[in-house]
Structure 1
């Protein structure tokens, strides 16, 4: 089982980040955190490391209703939240890649049947968000 869903789109970096936020919002996800990995590399490792990485941001996406259900079913799942969504583009790329964690990976760590139902719901929503981005791009699960 792959642990991410991926779509590659012919969008500029800024457009892809903005459109990803919008697609997630359409599926009930808000962004709790944002990590600009490129800037962190620049500050901690230098410009060569940042340049080698390219543009790279991690969005911590959360659907509050699903998170509430998940934490009620199994409080330890908080260690796996929020759902990470990566938007990345290497220096010379013509396309931007967007990847979301497959929430069903939580099921492998928990034997709780309620977690499976919640993960399936979150997975369907994340897949729909990515599919909406991939109009002219490629989607893989």
Structure 2
């Protein structure tokens, strides 16, 4: 059986020691904002499109910086998620779009409310003093 890889990008937005997370409509779990690429999109193109679709803001491409890339199984024996994470400044007002039910700011104590691949990012951000 061939291993399934889910290739995603994520926007790491930190403020006051907390990270922005979003919960898609119809889902129970929160995620770091972002998503899967369409066709031959680059990470940057995917990131800008997904964040605009989910949070109604425009990322400033000249400010995008790679934070890290993480890999984790969705569940034991499940698909592997690859999540390339980027910081970026934005213009506009953060707001949930029609596909997002809720947005919230999470601290490290909220780690168990996000998927395994997001938890790896939480661990690194906490270790480095960026996530309280």
The TM-score with structure 2 as length reference comes to 0.29
Structure holding more helix per residue: 1
Give the structure, 1 or 2, with the largest relative contact order (CA under 8 Å, sep 6 or more): 1
Structure holding more strand per residue: 2
The TM-score with structure 1 as length reference comes to 0.28
